[in-house]
A and B are shown apart, each in its own frame.
Chain A
């Protein structure tokens, strides 16, 4: 068990810098998720921690040790790969045991750990099968088992659920969280899926273009996105962005700092019914109503603006396309940003 510390980590391929100085402190036992769009550098960062990519500059610590120049095997980490990377010619048992054998563990200790991990992951019945004979979910468990038996200082996960179907993904997500709580191993997890990020993380790190946009608990990131990028990236459907000038005269704007020129409003915060207390009222036209089971999505056009906005509401409002709407939002639900810097005002 250990902390993982990234201090001003940079990575260049030739003259092109792709990671521009990232610093993250991961506490012992913490589950940190790196999230961002594809190409943001999250996988590169993870692979640098693993030792599969070299660190161009900065300091990388696992526990007290600086590991910048250590081989992956010497870093005391275990990794779960996107395509599992199970050794196809070895039985599940040998897949689990391989890393321990290479490290010269005694036979009895290897057997004990394999049995323990297999029981924990409920893969004991498949120990003598080859990976090719397992389903996607079972392979995923074996990949986790391979990390688990090592009892490493940290787990590294590289989009481990992206090859599973939607139902299995949710099930494994819960399982990963449960398992990590149980063994308490420090974990760094990469995903592009914000739901996965929000549900798994103790803290999440939003990356964009090789730069950290925000570090915080899921609640912090969701409730107080630090940048326009985070506001747009976290939450579905994404936040609506409305110019402050357009809002003037539509209700109380005292909570919005003077520097702000754009305001974000989550689709959930736009109500069809006027709430009690202070609120703004936005005139709009309904373009399309999309029923989605228990909730509905309304695609609307705000009067005088060319960009569409989204409203999420419970139930199925009886509205026809083209209907005139009055949308209500409470002042606390406005997220003020400065367009020029992209940061929260």
Chain B
């Protein structure tokens, strides 16, 4: 097991290196001179040249990458030239919002998706299965800005149960905080559950054909035990993968949902950085989000080993 963990950890290194190179190149190869952006239209060529020298922009690309990477490794991701905030500060300020949104959305998504998938697989081809598979398909093709607006209309405008937009930190007003998060999390969850449901349903249906399920029936086990103990665990590998990808994606913030519900998350930070051409923030945030993705995938790999002893013992 330890061997397995170390192997997976070492495997992450080249991925992280590639990610850093890509984020650096994207930011550096964007058209437009950073020094010119900072100094504005009135800058004299001398000033621009001086700033380029100060920022190291006159150095060759590979040198700039290496020196940036050197700083990154030491935890220095740079500083916004507009707000003066470091990348880490900016991210630390926004990450609780995106993290909470992600957790709540994923929780609601799994809460809907998993039971529906099990119920559908238990009676595959039945009326409930066909209805839910159809609904999932409909939900999947619904863009999140539309879901968001419909939910706001229903719960905030018509029923007046929940606030439409806004944010307070959890530490200040927990209940109000949760109320602010319900609609955005629900918007995301409504887009998440169809995927969760579809992969788990099809894996469950395949598992229920297995010999060991026939044996479990022949052993006279209760149907609930067959579904939840014998079938769910071996069917959940793809589910874990999908959930991991969802979490990674939501970690990076959700541009549309954060914008519609006015939540100050990573998504809004990124949009802001793009609008103001704040390349340092953009590059740093993209790198951090990518790292988060890699870490989530590592956790997914570990979960595989927890779920399937054959992976744990290096048999598969």
Instruction: Decide if A and B are genuine partners.
Output: no
Residues of A bordering B, CB below 8 Å: none
